[in-house]
Amino acid sequence: LVRSSTLSIKERIYVEAAKAIGAGDRHIITKHILPNVSPLIMATMIYQVAGAMMAEAGLAFLGLGDPSHKSWGMILHYAETSGGWYANMGYPAWWWIIPPGLCVALTVASLVLIGQAMEEIINPRLRRR
């Protein structure tokens, strides 16, 4: 996605005009291409961070994470293995389950919403009328 956008910007008239007046590659990249591609890079990066957080929390919950690394998924794993789901005669110990699960969900949801807002800013066709 970023590569196709970069190649598209490289073929625009103002980049060709900058080449025609003798601008160097570094100048064209820093002044013309990078400012137009950086919002797209940020939006893509935000989505990838959200995906990585979900993957890490899921793998840690399954017990495939590093036990010395503390994370919300590892807290949920410890709650499951220590009986936090079935503590106190069938009633779960909610303080082991709700806060880390809610933190993962809210953090990932906020990152996705930020990414969608950035995509609406970048792509004018996504804006509401």
pLDDT range class, residue 118, cuts 50, 70, 90: confident
Task: State the Cα–Cα distance between residues 61 and 81, nearest whole angstrom.
Answer: 10
Q: Which residues of 85-101 are buried (b: 16+ CB within 10 A; e: fewer)?
A: eebeeeeeeeebbeebb
Mean pLDDT of the chain: 86
pLDDT for residue 102 is more than 90: yes
* pLDDT tens string 35-69: 888 888 888 899 999 999 999 999 999 999 888 98
* Res. 31 pLDDT band, cuts 50 70 90: confident
Model pTM? 0.73
